[in-house]
Each structure stands twice: as C-alpha cells, then as structure tokens.
Amino acid sequence: MIAVRRTTARIIFLTGLLFQGIYTVQADQPGTIKSQRGASKSSNAEILSIYPERLNETKLANAIDIKGSRPKSIKSLIKEASTKLQKNLTSLKGPKNLYLPQKITEVKITKLHPIKLDEVKHLAEVNNPQLQAINLQVDQAKYLLLAAISRWYPTVNLSANGLPEYFSSEQDRNPDFGSDTSGKYIRTAASIKVNWNLIDPARVPEIASARDTYEKAKNSYLLALRQLRLEALNRYFLLQRADEGVRIGKESLRASNLSVRDAKARFEAGVATRLEVLEAETQLARDKQLLTSKLRDQNINRRLLAGLLNLPPNVTPTAASPTQVIGSWESSLQESITSALKYREELNQHLLDISINNSKANSALAAIQPTLSIFNTFSASAYNGQSGIISPNKVDMDDYGSSTSNTVGINATWSIFDGGRAKALYKYNKKKAEESEYSFASTRNRIRQEVEESFYKLRTANQDISTTTREVIASREALRLARLRFQAGVTTQREVVNNQRDLTQAEVRYTDAITTYNTSLAQLERSTGVNHVKACKPQKLSGTKEEADEFSNLPIEPFPLIPACEASKINK
C-alpha cells in the first residue's frame, strides 16, 4: 500500500516537472508572450502605438477640471440683446403688459407691415415679454445674493418702549399694615443693540449657493435669448414657406384656368372629348383647394410671428425678405460637437446644480455646529413724575430722572442633538448633487444628438435643394412641351394635367428643402452655441424685366366661400 502511494506521488511529481518544462520552453521562444498579464500590457501598448487617439478612460477630461466647479458663461460668444427699437420700427412697439382689448376695433387688423429677416430677431429681443420676465429673474437672483452677503456684516437694532409712555397707579392697602399709595409719571425708554456673528457655519455655504443661483439665472437668460432667436427665425422661415406656397398655388391656378380654357375651346371645335374638359376642371378644383390651404397657412404663420414678436394688436407682419438660402456651415461635424460641448450653457447649469447642492449639504450640517456672536446693548430711559407716593395730592410731576446702561458680551449656541435631521438633510443634498452628475451626462448626450441631427438634416437639405432645383426646371419644360403637344393634337389633357401636378409638387418640395435647410442651419447655430455660418453672396438682380409666361398675366377669378352646410349638398 505504501509502495503504491509512493509510485503515485512520483508520477504526479514527474508530470508537474514535465508541464513546467513545456511552459518554460514556450516562454523562452522568441515572439511568444510570457504571461497573460504581460500579454495585456503588450497588446494595449501596441494598440496605443497604432491608434494614439484612443486613450484610457481614466485619462479622459473631467468637466469640473475644465470648466471649474462654478463655471461662468462666455458672454463674448453671444451678441447682447437689443433694448431699444430701431427708428424704422418704432411703430411696432408692443402694447403695455396689462393692456386688455375690449373693443372689436382694437383687435381688427388694419395694417400689414413687411419685416426683413435681420429685423425679426431685433423685434423679438425688444418686445418679447417672456424674455423680459427672465431678465427680471436675473435681477431677483442678484438681490438674493446681496441679501446673503449681508450676513458678513453686523446688525444694528433700535427699539423703544413708549414714545412717551404715561403711567398712573393707585394702590389700596390694609390700614393696619400700610398706607394707600399712588403714582403718575411720563417715561421714555430706548435701546440700541449691535450684534455680529463671529462664527456662523451656515454663512459661507448660503452665500455660495446664492452666488451659484445668480450664475444659473444669467445662464437661463442666455438660453432663453438663444431659444428666442431660433424660434423667431423658424417662424419667419415658415412664413416664407407659406408665402411661397401661396405663390405656387396662384401659378397652379392660372395654369389650370388656361388648361380649362384650351380644353373647352378644343371641345367646342370638336377635336376634344368631354373627358378632357372634366380632367381640366378636376385639376382646377385641386388647385383651388391647394391655394385655399396655403392661404390658411399664411394667415396662421403671420399671426404666430406677430404673437412671438408681441406686435400691436392691429398689425400683422409679412415677410419682406425672399425665400433663399441664408448661408453655409463652415465647421465639420466633429468641430461642431466639440464647440457645443464647450460652449453650451446647459452643461454649466448642471455643474452649478452640483455646487448648489453641495453648499446646501454644508448648510444643513451647520444646524448642529456651534455659532458665536458678539453683542453690545446700550439702553437709556428718562421719566417725569413720581410713584409710590402716600398722599395722592403730593405727586409732583416736576420730579424727573434718567438712567443709562451698556452691556457687552458674547453669545454662543450649539444644537447638540436634533434627532439626526441635519445628517439626513446633508445626505439628501449630496444625493441631489450626484443626481445632477447623471443629468449632466444625459444633457451631454442630448447635445451631441441635437448637433448630429441638425448636421445630417442640413446635409440632406443641401442635397435636396440641388435635386429639387433640377426637378423644377425639368417639370417646367415638360409642362411646356405637353401644352404644345396638346395644342397640336398629339396628346390628351391627361398628360398636361399630370405634368402640371408634377411641377406644383416639385416647387413645393423645392420650397420645403430651402426651409428645412435654413431651419437646420439656425438649429445648428443654436445647438453649438457659436456662429460658424458663412453668409451667401447677395444675388445680382437683372435691371430688365423678364418676359412673362403665356399664363402669368391671367387673372385669378375669385371663388366665393359657400357655407359648409350648403356646399356639402351641391349636386355633383
């Protein structure tokens, strides 16, 4: 039995030596990795040597290290808001804040005022009431900061008891033990107390919290200003699109009127069928509906812009600038993302929230920390009259007296036990600070997503402008050829109707592409926080008038508005 155990032990020992020798031989071979730990280090070094831009996560920059725990907005990156209207726009000053129209004439539109693209932001900055309200919130936060800073200074309190005070008394006593007494006097007493907190644990965190709140209010104003400018531009672009839609609708309606006229003339001449006339009239009805919807959009967008600009109630704005591309974006996607993460005030807001919650946590602990204050109280009093006189007839009001006193001392308070309330509030605010860190990460991801989305939309709209431009040119030529073929009798009205519809849709898509491009460009500027827009060169307009098309001078006959109840019963 013992021999078997020895044999087994020898076999195990030899097997271990064999594996150890194999591992040693493999480790000594050139080009092989000696250990798994060494393999990891070697592979990481190799990757970093090939891709130096790939850094370890521990080396990534921290937002607090870059911006600081209390970041401030860079005012030089944003143009200050206008405070006064230009001379040519003084008639568009908004109504008073508490103005409430009571008469029909006060809300009736009596004036159409054309507004240029560069004027819309100026009007919004001066007239918009929401921006003015946020600006007042900045002042409110400033005064709260001044109130918090006042805790560094001593307080002086003046109190007075009776200015003056008249006193009259009569006291009856048992004759066996004493005499009746009476008294009358006029007394004045005042005191002044000076108190100065030498040690106040809540003073510094509360001032720090108020200072961060003030910075947040200024950032909120800048955010509101950026958003207002973006919204004003978007409303203006939508109004331009609505105006283009009305123009397209009118041109389509003129073309349909021409088609109906040609179809009826050919039908009366006996070279066309009744079907072709019906097809032309059907397209005319569609174009009337298109024009009606575009007029609706135009009226709605005009009033939306008027509400944003806070114009007088009897004024409706119109777009004076033509629909065109306003510029091009000069930065790459990566540069746009880094600019947004560097300059967007939303990220600073979360860092300030972290600082505010940490200050509130320290302020909560101050409730169980000692406070020390020095005080000085000076009191003075004076009186005329007497008290405690045995005979009422002997009270002399000419008697007078005065007294003064001065007290200097130190007060100390210390809440030793509060049931754990201060500790709980401290942990609560610390968790709020940690929550702000997660909010920072969410906002960071959202900002990048906004920049990427606007960038891709801008690039797509740029391509759409190019393709829809060629589509409009081709559709116009196709419609011209279709009309010539129809007049020559080699095609039907259906081909003309189809080409006309294609031209209308192509012009609508072209207008939508320009509107999407401009709104994406404005959104990209808002998302990055910087202006990287290169303005387009101004268009050179010809001094000669272009030749009119065959149907451009055709008048548009007004079509009456039939009530819905009657219109639904028309015999079709």
Buried b (16+ CB within 10 A) or exposed e, 359-390: bbbbbbbbbbeebebebebebebebbbbbebe
Q: What pLDDT score was predicted for residue 554? A: 55
- Domain shared by 56 and 105, yes or no: no
Sign of the Cα pseudo-torsion (390, 392, 398, 404, in order): positive
Q: What pLDDT score was predicted for residue 392? A: 57
Q: What pLDDT score was predicted for residue 71? A: 78
- Domain shared by 8 and 119, yes or no: no
Q: What pLDDT score was predicted for residue 217? A: 93
- Domain shared by 434 and 511, yes or no: yes
Q: Is 133 strand, coil or helix?
A: helix
Tokens, residue 267: 């039908």
Q: Is residue 35 part of a domain?
A: yes
- Domain shared by 53 and 96, yes or no: no
Q: Is residue 140 part of a domain?
A: no
Q: Is residue 208 part of a domain?
A: yes
Q: What pLDDT score was predicted for residue 352? A: 93
> What is the tens place of the pLDDT at every residue in 290-345?
999 999 999 999 999 999 999 999 999 999 988 889 888 888 999 999 988 888 88
- Domain shared by 246 and 292, yes or no: yes
- Domain shared by 540 and 425, yes or no: yes
Q: Which of 43, 60, 77 is the last residue of a domain?
A: 60
> What is the tens place of the pLDDT at every residue in 28-77?
333 333 333 344 344 444 433 434 444 454 456 777 777 777 777 776 66
Q: Which of 25, 42, 60 is the last residue of a domain?
A: 60
Q: Is residue 171 part of a domain?
A: no
Q: Is residue 311 part of a domain?
A: yes
Provide long-range contacts, Cβ within 8 A and 24+ apart, for 535-542: 535/326, 535/327, 536/324, 536/325, 536/326, 536/327, 536/328, 539/324
Q: What pLDDT score was predicted for residue 12? A: 40
- Domain shared by 253 and 323, yes or no: yes
Residue type, 255: A
- Domain shared by 204 and 283, yes or no: yes
For residue 164, the Cα-to-chain-centroid distance in whole angstroms is 59
The whole-number mean pLDDT for each consecutive block of 10 residues of the chain, a chain of 572 residues, reads: 43 39 34 37 41 49 74 72 86 89 89 92 92 94 95 92 74 67 77 93 94 93 92 95 94 89 86 86 91 94 94 93 88 90 88 94 93 93 72 66 89 91 94 94 93 92 91 92 85 87 92 93 86 70 52 58 50 46
Q: Is residue 170 part of a domain?
A: no
Q: How many domains does the chain have?
A: 2
Q: Is residue 53 part of a domain?
A: yes
* CATH number, residue 439: 1.20.1600.10
Give the residue numbers spanning the domain of 47. 2-60
Quote the pTM value: 0.78
Tokens, residue 1: 């039995």
For residue 297, the Cα-to-chain-centroid distance in whole angstroms is 26
Q: Is residue 146 part of a domain?
A: no
- Domain shared by 277 and 344, yes or no: yes
- Domain shared by 204 and 299, yes or no: yes
- Domain shared by 425 and 534, yes or no: yes
- Domain shared by 240 and 310, yes or no: yes
